Amino acid sequence: MTQLNLPSASTQFNKNGPELQDAEQYRAPPWLPGGNLQTIYPYLIQPGSKITYRRERWEHEDGDFIDVDWLDGSTNAPLVVLFHGLEGGSQSHYVLSIMNTLQNAGWRGAVIHFRGCSGLPNRLPRAYHAGDSDEINWMLHRVFWESQLLDSETPLYTIGVSLGGNALLKWLGEQGEKACQIITAAAAVSVPLDLSAAGAALDKGFNQFYTRHFLSTLKYKMLEKMDRFPGLLDAKAIAACNTLYQFDNLATAPLHGFCNTEEYWAQSSSKPWLKHIKVPTLVINARNDPFMPASALPTQEEVSPTVTLAFPEEGGHAGFLQAPFPGKLTWLPNKILSFFKLQENNNDDATTRESP
């Protein structure tokens, strides 16, 4: 495991980089104790200034579509592709905080929505899932070619949060050295690296609050889909389900080629792939994340030397709010961009890419 020695808070990047406000270990505000508050309260915060996206629709060769929200900027500025979490999108609080930081730094961004997450239902029976590395592969290569990065010195970075982080890490591990042909560095945040452990955690105690939140939209979308595709699944059972295990067993697994929830979770977890990653990658998970037990987090021996583990004691799930009151969502994007900038400096001598 690499040790991340970040620049001091006074360090300022030159090439469109951000001025770091706090690159130290995360510490939660004293008035925001515990993983649940550190998860829920940031969800209510409106981070930074308004982001104006440019939406583009990609037509997929399978007949479906993918919606991308672009944060435009100079064509030679670094480009960051972001994959959101379960039922997230370009308006999620963690996405907006990252995009605000990119905008202030003069960088470009692209939020790629998983199918059905851009505000409109997708066309096909299938949806999206935590292990869909084939989808990640298609999306990143589309960005790479359409942004004409083959003969460019412009770095391409990628961030995945929660479910999107799991799919991204799985792709990075599967691709190995091939991923280095298009990606300069990656970051994954609040990742359910072990889906079985995460699923079990979300079915217990207060965590059922999060499960109900997710199921409120997951079930609505799936029932709408069954109106368009009668007989696809058991609508009555889906309407009655109250755990993510049940929903994945009734909908996610059968729609995406898995026998059941156990097979889906086992085959889709990214943790086993961490030791195969070759792209410099930062993994940030709070040890008090309600979605991912600290006991299931990987050790140094379970990851590649190119993977940097950052596991602060606090932060919640995709939270990492900073003082002063009412709080600001700047620690996480600054931590990620400082890591990316270090990798760009390390790769200054590698200015050409081979065709992927």
Residues tagged active-site = 162, 289, 317
Which candidate, 92, 105, 219, places its Cα nearest to that of 165? 92
Helix extents (H) in the chain: 35-43, 93-105, 133-146, 163-175, 195-202, 208-228, 235-240, 244-247, 253-255, 261-268, 331-346
Q: Can you read off the two tokens belonging to residue 252?
A: 């996610």
Which candidate, 18, 136, 44, places its Cα nearest to that of 81? 136
56's enclosing H/E stretch is strand 54-59
Contacts 24+ apart (CB under 8 A), 306-309: 306/2, 306/277, 306/278, 306/279, 306/280, 306/281, 307/1, 307/2, 307/274, 307/277, 307/281, 307/282, 307/283, 308/1, 308/2, 308/3, 308/4, 308/280, 308/281, 308/282, 308/283, 308/339, 309/1, 309/283
